[in-house]
A = this chain, B = another copy of it.
Amino acid sequence: MFIIKIGGSIITDKSIKDSFKKTVVDRLSAEIKKADEEIIIVHGAGSYGHIPAKKYNLNQGYKNNEQTLGFALTHANVQKLNTMVLNSLHENNIPAVSIPPHAIMELDDHEPTDMNYDIFRDLLKQGFTPVTFGDVILDKKLGFSICSGDLLMQLLAEQFEPEKAIFVIDEDGLYTSNPKTDENAEFIETINLERLKQLSTPFDNHADVTRGMKGKIDTIKNIVNLGINTVLLNGNKPDRLYKVLIGEKTKCTTVNRS
């Protein structure tokens, strides 16, 4: 089985409010269907979540009453995005059922507490494809905060020990430095945990409310440390997700433990 995180920048234009990239999501849905594997999907909140979450400053926790409505608005907006992702999966005959994180877990000062994994397990057993997503969530200490898709990837990987954890992003994979700002950045095909640790610093600079690439690298370290191979691939390039799912060679970065 595989756990796939489809990044918010792949399914939306992160700089434009409520901009769903239906063509890209439809193609990725078709690739997932064609691969015909047991899969859990995590998707980012993209512009549907990040823009209102930033506006109401939700990741800092409860400060004023206006944020309460802001939390509610943000969740409903992410639920709208989730419905569009579900519709695309259904159009490709994937029986996807969503599980919003706020209904199955809470955080405590940004740290996860008990999560209900049974619903994922029972949905899989019944032949469904569980879909969860980055969203706003209650936090025991802060009132509320944000549960990122990357955090969900880590928790689900720990629990389900997939064959691979796959991050579908808007770059071909990892580079020696940020390819968006450094033309000398070199692409990395395979990297081990030790080398990844030395690499993490250059990726700090496109952070968002969920800590951007720095947070993602930390998540990947934690997943790989469990002995789960992790792949980063470009979701804007056709067939790369499909090829990784069926074990064929394609452009991507593979992170191994040793």
A residues neighboring B (CB under 8 Å): 62, 65, 68-69, 71-73, 75-76, 79-80, 82-83, 86-87, 89-90, 93-100, 102-104, 106, 116, 119, 122-123, 126-128, 138, 143-144
Contacts and interface: CB of A to CB of B under 8 A. Distances in A.
Contacts of A98: 75-76, 79, 100
Contact of A62 (B122, B126, B138, B144): B126
19 contacts: A68-B128, A69-B90, A71-B95, A71-B97, A71-B128, A72-B94, A72-B95, A72-B96, A72-B97, A73-B90, A76-B96, A79-B79, A79-B83, A98-B100, A100-B103, A106-B122, A119-B138, A122-B138, A126-B138
Contacts of A123: 138
B72 A76 contact: no
Copies of this protein chain in the complex: 2
B102 A97 contact: yes
Nearest to A114: B118
A128 to B, nearest CB: 7
A128 B90 contact: no
Given A127-B65, A127-B68, A138-B123, A99 B90 contact: no
Contact of A90 (B76, B90, B102): B76
A26 to B, nearest CB: 15
B103 A103 contact: yes
Contact of A104 (B71, B83, B87, B103): B103
Contacts of A68: 95, 126-128
Nearest to A126: B143
Contacts of A128: 68, 71-72
